[in-house]
Amino acid sequence: MSEIGLFQIFEQVGSKMVHAKLAIGADNSGKLVAQVKNKAKELAEQDKKEYIIVDGSPGVGCPVVSSLSGASYVVLVTEPTVSGLHDLKRVYELVKKFNLKAGCIINKYDINKYVSDEIIRFLETEKIDRLANLPYDKAFTEAMTQGLTIVETNNNIKQFLEETWEKIIEKM
């Protein structure tokens, strides 16, 4: 990990992650997201990387708007709960305002078949790409408790995520 101003850069498995901290009670978090994205773009250009992935916060506030700005494709991640479906619909309204293509990963899709089916109907109606149905797996919790990423501990999920990444590249 190296630090550049308020940015921290983590190098892991051939990739870099740019991270910044927002002080408690500080405003302009959308501006901070823009600064992080600019730093990521600078590093991507230096390292001749083709893609920048921006992990946006939940909701529809300023940080999310800033995360979506300039995006080529949006990957929505939801869980099959009533609030998950509600939040998916809210953020997708924002994605539509930006006129962006989107795909969706249903995380823990097997914990509530009824709501998963509702989510799938919503995706079909809105013509959102269904990228993957990720089943619930204790391996995620086990990896976190070991301080590792899931791909460092579980080859099945690694393959699943690689296949999903290929779908995302295809859609872009």
Does residue 92 form part of some domain? no
Between CA 160 and CA 141 the distance in angstroms is 17
Does residue 73 form part of some domain? no
Q: Tokens at residue 133, please? A: 């149905």
Q: pTM for the full model?
A: 0.84
pLDDT value at residue 7: 55
Does residue 153 form part of some domain? no
Domain that holds residue 27: 1-52
Does residue 28 form part of some domain? yes
Q: What is the pLDDT along the chain (172 residues), one digit of tens a residue?
A: 334 445 556 565 567 778 777 667 666 677 888 888 888 898 889 989 888 888 888 877 888 888 899 899 999 999 999 999 999 999 999 999 999 999 999 999 999 999 999 999 999 999 999 999 999 988 888 888 988 888 888 778 888 888 998 999 998 8
Q: Which of 32, 80, 39, 27 is nearest to 56 (CA)?
A: 32
Q: What is the DSSP string of 100-134?
A: --EEEEEETGGG-HHHHHHHHHHHHHHT-EEEEEE
Number of domains in the chain: 1
Does residue 20 form part of some domain? yes
Does residue 6 form part of some domain? yes
